[in-house]
Structure 1
Amino acid sequence: MTVERQSPPPRPILGEALRLGVPAVMGMLSHWVLSIADEYMVSRLAIGATPERGYRAIGNVHVASIYVLALVITFNALAVGTQAVAARRWGEGRRDAASGVLRTALVMVLALSALLTPLYIAFAGEMVRLFTGETPSIDRDIVTAYLEIRFWALPAMMAIYVLSGWFAGVGNTVIVMMTALLVNAVNILLNWVLIEGRWGFPRLEERGAALASTIGTHAGLAFMIAYALMSRRFRALNLLRRWRPEREVAGRILRLSAPSFLHYAAVHGGFMVFLAAIIPNTREGAVGVAASAIVWVSTALAFMIAFGFGNAAATLMGQSLGAGDPARARHSVWVCAWVSLAATLPVTLTCALAGPWITSLFTQDPEVIRVSRWLFLIIASFQLLDNFGIILAEAFKGAGLNFFVMVVEVPLNLVLFLSLSWWWGVGLNWGVAGAWGAMIPYVLIFDAVMITAFQRGVWRRGQA
């Protein structure tokens, strides 16, 4: 049967990559700004004590953010499935079917978040005690309070993930960028007000950063819903007005999202163990935690560029396969990869050459600056190659091969990376640099597998 095409002729690939990739990168960068703003602003806490309070606050917020990464952002996997199915339906010219994908996905995340939110809030303290332990490098009470506040944003965060995935799948990454910018603007303003207690508000310190992020997330969701209901482009689709979840669509989203969920849960959980359990137990203690936090958020800029163009690659892969054009799908992914590399290169070089100066923006502690210098160099050693691994992995997801990506990365993270980081960092007492050095074999093997599989055409086997 011939599917009637309602979509326009394909645009030049470079133009499409930039049209989708640049807003996606801006959206990713705004998430980076959210993280760096929290840590920078708490690092300036003026409590009249010593500079140690500032870098310990960085460690507290960073460890809490890693828990959020593992326990909340993992559910961004539902956006992966939503994006893949929506992109394929949109590429086939089936606009009504693509709209049904969004409604079904929203019902799924609302039901899931209603179940998880009270559980997360009730057991936040137990989770922190289980993974972080008794290390003096981290204030467990502050981390727990931060999480309890952030978990109130769980339903809004999950809804934003699904909406972002759907809009990206149909080729509108601008709204994702605008939402992220709004979330950041609200968060930064409220950080300034609540962390140190301005305009008559109480001084909440790290808890103020958590509350600012929670309020900003709800503001972002309100903005996305308003856009979906009132924008000229999508108004006719009745995106949020005909709530009839489709069982077949839900099953397809779950089939595509389940591997990504397991993938994200394992990988983010691995990084949670790395940053919340292994790093605090290295010989540098709180200094190592602070240095790791600063390097993590600073180098994340380059990774966000790669993930932004990876999002574009996933969309172009899904739409091109839906339109029956595998040659365009392959070429689109490589265009996204090379454009991303060009944008990533200056960031990587800056972090490698100016690491101590970057750290000094957060703290003047000489030990934190000394330790972070080596961490910047370790990450620079693999970051450019990892640009290709990230984008090709996202392209595989756009083709519906989420399970393949999971099978490759999860053993590398949970077995190779965690065992080496503990052995080198704690067992051999090489310190925080030894723990971070375990990233090198982990990333290089993953990237080599992604590049080889893509060149061999494994992506052609995907179905969304």
Structure 2
Amino acid sequence: MQSNKISIKQFFIYFKIAISGKEQEFTSGSIRRAVFMLAVPMILEMLMESIFAIVDIFYVSKVSVNAVATIGLTESVITLVYAVAIGLSIAATAIVARRIGEKDREGASKAAVQVIFLGVFVAALISVLGILYPKEILQLMGGEPELIAEGYGYTQVLLGGNVTIMLLFLINAIFRGAGDASIAMWALVLSNGLNIILDPMFIFGFGLIPAYGVEGAAIATTIGRGTAVIFQIFILFYGWSKIKIEFKDLVLRVAVMINLIKVSIGGIGQFLIGTSSWVILMRIMSEFGSEVLAGYTIAIRVMMFTIMPAWGMSNAAATLVGQNLGAKKPQRAEDSVWKTGKYSAIFMGLVSLIYLVFAPQIISWFTQEAEVVKNGALCLRIIAAGYIFYGYGMVVINSFNGAGDTKTPTWINFICFWLFQLPFAYITALTFDFGPIGVFMAITFAELLIAVIGIIWFKKGYWKSVKV
């Protein structure tokens, strides 16, 4: 009994250290402790990111079914922005982690500046499209005229202000690569807290603020993320992280930029494959009407809440791989992945049991529309059936990225998403008339396949010899 009290006490001591960011060394000592110290703030960071989605859906579901469907269609397009942001962040984490492992903090800082330059440039291009063509984007995604008329403002604001999404991802990736996961977490806490406060004010109106409806959700989210980006930049310039940027560093360094682009191409490619597949799945779902689309959108948002912790653990594994390869400790890098993968699979397995049993009740928190609840619960249960594979596979795939081997996950995504998932979804949902069940099954089977292929290839160990 006494030992249990000590272990619980130790847990809270380690938890406090993890969120404070006091732990700085991850290339020596206990691997389990290193995983814990990195994973805790990364899990909390990802939970904060997923709460954005949950909060928006919670409030917008009180506006209309069309408003919820608008978020679903817009988010399926915004995932293309996420693909670029995450792809660049993969390169940022891999390069910064490798430089930190090599004890080259100046090199890490130079890479960080080029990451930010590249992110701003790409975001500016996307903003132009979002501001000028929001209605056309929703129409392309299969939105009905009433939906477009009600929701195009949401699309315009979110895409127009996508630089806040881009920089929040990229700068947090820099912090994670440096091992400063707690700073990334606090940036998301700030942006999320503001979003929770501002969402109802801009959606329903408050004082001098008019009721913007679904567009208000985008305004609140953009303000929240933008404030967090300012917070991140202050930290970078004032040196409260391992990465410190000075005004003399704000120059284009061609060699560093080329290396960054080289590593990020694979990262962008793998997520463009994954997210474009998601866009097409959303397009297939739109064939079944707004109720089915709304149920699917709510279910995906709920699942994001629990997928994010697994994503946080996979980010921890990526940082450990990068830093330990930089420190010339490949076996420690591999052991870190297997341990993190086991923890992720256990967590996702427990979550899947909750979803399988309580899916209708969970969906009904967000809507009372019977048809929406029915389809959302069905989606939640079918996809949750493969959660264990999803958790393990996510860690293994992101570990390739942490090593700078972005080509391998790209090929795995291409095979599992484009060659398997999309044909399977189309044929079962539309040709064989399974309806939305065909799409849900395609998602589950594809994630299972990714995990199996990823584990087999990871064991071959080619990733240990990648140079960045």
Both structures adopt the same fold (TM-score exceeding 0.5): yes
| Correspondence 1:67-216 to 2 at 5 A | 67-132=77-142, 135=144, 139-216=147-224
C-alpha separation in 1, matches of 2:398 and 2:423 = 26
C-alpha separation in 1, matches of 2:66 and 2:162 = 26
C-alpha separation in 2, matches of 1:455 and 1:158 = 33
Q: Deviations over 1:54-106 (max 9, x none)?
A: x3322222221221112345322111111111111110011111111111211
The aligned residue for residue 261 of structure 1 is: 268
C-alpha separation in 1, matches of 2:303 and 2:151 = 23
The aligned residue for residue 326 of structure 1 is: 330
TM-aligned CA distance change 1:36 to 1:241, over 3 Å: farther
2:46 to 20, 28, 49: 28
- Among the aligned pairs, what percent are the same residue? 24
Secondary structure of the equivalent of 1:132?
Answer: coil
Secondary structure of the equivalent of 2:204?
Answer: coil
Q: Is the 8 A contact 1:72 1:154 kept in 2?
A: no
The aligned residue for residue 408 of structure 1 is: 412
The aligned residue for residue 456 of structure 1 is: 460
Q: Is the 8 A contact 1:299 1:351 kept in 2?
A: no
| Correspondence 1:247-396 to 2 at 5 A | 247-275=254-282, 277-282=283-288, 285-396=289-400
Q: Give the Å deviation of 1:293.
A: 1.1
C-alpha separation in 2, matches of 1:207 and 1:140 = 12
C-alpha separation in 2, matches of 1:387 and 1:240 = 41
Q: Is the 8 A contact 2:428 2:438 kept in 1?
A: yes
Cα root mean square deviation, aligned: 2.0
* Amino acid in the other structure paired with 2:99: R
5+ unaligned residues in a row in structure 1: which ranges? 1-5, 46-52
C-alpha separation in 1, matches of 2:246 and 2:310 = 30
The aligned residue for residue 59 of structure 1 is: 69
The aligned residue for residue 228 of structure 1 is: 236
TM-score computed with the length of structure 2 as normaliser: 0.90
Report the more deviating stretch, 10-19 or 104-113: 104-113
* Amino acid in the other structure paired with 1:460: K
Q: Give the Å deviation of 1:9.
A: 6.3
Q: Is the 8 A contact 1:279 1:289 kept in 2?
A: yes
Q: Is the 8 A contact 1:7 1:93 kept in 2?
A: no
Q: Is the 8 A contact 1:110 1:159 kept in 2?
A: yes
C-alpha separation in 1, matches of 2:279 and 2:372 = 21
Q: Is the 8 A contact 2:94 2:319 kept in 1?
A: yes
Report the more deviating stretch, 74-83 or 367-376: 367-376
The aligned residue for residue 15 of structure 2 is: none
Size of the aligned set, in residue pairs, is: 445
C-alpha separation in 2, matches of 1:239 and 1:90 = 18
* Amino acid in the other structure paired with 1:181: V
C-alpha separation in 2, matches of 1:368 and 1:376 = 12
Q: Is the 8 A contact 1:359 1:372 kept in 2?
A: yes
Q: Is the 8 A contact 1:74 1:268 kept in 2?
A: no
Q: Give the Å deviation of 1:219.
A: 0.6
Q: Give the Å deviation of 1:128.
A: 2.3
Report the more deviating stretch, 150-159 or 446-455: 150-159
Secondary structure of the equivalent of 1:139?
Answer: helix
C-alpha separation in 2, matches of 1:83 and 1:377 = 34
TM-aligned CA distance change 1:239 to 1:176, over 3 Å: farther
Q: Give the Å deviation of 1:263.
A: 1.6
* Amino acid in the other structure paired with 1:294: I
C-alpha separation in 2, matches of 1:70 and 1:115 = 13
C-alpha separation in 1, matches of 2:85 and 2:96 = 18
Q: Is the 8 A contact 1:28 1:304 kept in 2?
A: yes
Report the more deviating stretch, 405-414 or 176-185: 405-414
Q: Give the Å deviation of 1:241.
A: 4.9
C-alpha separation in 2, matches of 1:278 and 1:443 = 19
TM-aligned CA distance change 1:30 to 1:299, over 3 Å: same
Q: Is the 8 A contact 1:100 1:245 kept in 2?
A: no
C-alpha separation in 1, matches of 2:128 and 2:27 = 48
Q: Give the Å deviation of 1:413.
A: 1.3
C-alpha separation in 2, matches of 1:114 and 1:431 = 38
Secondary structure of the equivalent of 1:93?
Answer: coil
Report the more deviating stretch, 78-87 or 294-303: 294-303
5+ unaligned residues in a row in structure 2: which ranges? 1-23
The aligned residue for residue 5 of structure 2 is: none
Q: Is the 8 A contact 2:87 2:268 kept in 1?
A: yes
Q: Deviations over 1:133-160 (max 9, x none)?
A: 5x47x71234432111012322232222
